[in-house]
Amino acid sequence: MVARYASIAAALAAGATALLVPRDESSFGSTPGVLSLPVYQDIRLHPLEKLRRRAVSDTDVPVINVTSTTYLIELDIGTPGQDTKVALDTGSSELWVNPNCQKAGSTQQAQSCRANGQYDPDNSRTSVVYQNTGRIKYGKGEVALQYVADNITLPGSDIDLSQVIFGYATDSVDLNRGILGLSFGENKNNTGYPTVVEEMKAQNVIESLTMGIALGTKDEPTGSGLISFGGVDTKKFSGNLHSAPILGPQNGESLWRYWVQLDSIALSKSGSSKTTYSNSQFPVFFDTGATLSYFPSAVVPISEFIWEVSDNACVLGADKASDGSYLLGDSFLRSAYVVFDQETPALHFAPYVNCGTNLQKIPLGANAAAKFSGECSASNSSSGSGNSKNTAGRASVSSLWLLAGGRACLSFKHNVIQRLAFHA
Instruction: Please tell me whether residue 140 adopts helix, strand or coil conformation.
Output: coil
User: Over 80: is that where the pLDDT of 156 sits?
Assistant: no
Between residues 358 and 23, which one has the greater pLDDT?
A: 358
Cut 0.85: pTM above it: no
Dist. CA 267–CA 277, nearest whole Å: 8
Residues 212-218, mean pLDDT to the nearest whole number: 88
CA 47 to each of CA 66, 115, 335: distance values in angstroms, whole numbers, following the listed order: 6, 21, 25
State the DSSP string of 265-321: EEEE-TTS--EEETT--EEEEE-TT-SSEEE-TTTS-GGGGEEEEETTEEEE-EEE-
Catalytic residue among 76, 150, 233, 287: 287
- Contact criterion met (CB below 8 Å) for 139 and 323: no
Tens-digit pLDDT profile for residues 133-144: 999 998 889 999
Backbone angles phi, psi at 201, to 5 degrees: -70, -45
User: Over 90: is that where the pLDDT of 126 sits?
Assistant: yes
- Contact criterion met (CB below 8 Å) for 354 and 376: yes
Q: Count how many residues are written for the chain.
A: 424
What is the predicted pLDDT for the residue at 313?
Answer: 55
Based on the residue annotation, tell me whether 89 is a catalytic residue of this protein.
yes
For the chain, report the end-to-end CA distance as a whole number of angstroms: 24
CATH number at residue 100: 2.40.70.10
DSSP state of 378: T
- The bridge status of strand 35-52 relative to strand 82-89 is unpaired
Catalytic residue among 76, 89, 150, 233: 89
Between residues 157 and 167, which one has the greater pLDDT?
A: 167
Tens-digit pLDDT profile for residues 69-101: 788 999 999 999 999 999 999 999 999 999 999
User: Over 60: is that where the pLDDT of 210 sits?
Assistant: yes
Q: Cβ–Cβ contacts within 10 Å for residue 138, how many?
A: 19
- Contact criterion met (CB below 8 Å) for 375 and 358: yes
Report the phi/psi class of residue 156: left, alpha or beta, with left for phi > 0 and alpha for psi in -120 to 50. Answer: left
Tens-digit pLDDT profile for residues 7-50: 454 445 444 443 333 333 333 335 788 998 888 887 665 443 33
User: Over 60: is that where the pLDDT of 292 sits?
Assistant: yes
Residues 251-273, mean pLDDT to the nearest whole number: 78
Residue of 263, 254, 214, 261 lying closest to 234 (CA atoms): 214
Q: Residue 175 belongs to what domain range? A: 2-422
What is the predicted pLDDT for the residue at 146?
Answer: 97
What is the predicted pLDDT for the residue at 59?
Answer: 33
User: Over 60: is that where the pLDDT of 398 sits?
Assistant: no
User: Over 90: is that where the pLDDT of 57 sits?
Assistant: no
Reported as type and span, the H/E element at residue 347 is: strand 346-351
User: Over 80: is that where the pLDDT of 253 sits?
Assistant: yes
Dist. CA 248–CA 257, nearest whole Å: 8
| Percentage with pLDDT > 70 across the chain | 66
Based on the residue annotation, tell me whether 120 is a catalytic residue of this protein.
no
What is the predicted pLDDT for the residue at 369?
Answer: 95
The dihedral built from the CA positions of residue 280, 281, 282 and 288, taken in this order, carries a sign that is positive
What is the predicted pLDDT for the residue at 317?
Answer: 63
Considering only the C-alpha atoms of the chain, give the largest distance between any 2 of them, rounded to a whole number of Å.
66
For the chain, what is the mean pLDDT? Answer: 76
Dist. CA 15–CA 352, nearest whole Å: 42
User: Over 50: is that where the pLDDT of 66 sits?
Assistant: no
Looking at the structure of the chain, the number of domains it has is 1
Tens-digit pLDDT profile for residues 293-344: 887 766 655 555 554 555 555 556 666 776 677 888 887 888 889 999 999 9
- Contact criterion met (CB below 8 Å) for 78 and 150: yes
- Contact criterion met (CB below 8 Å) for 299 and 279: yes
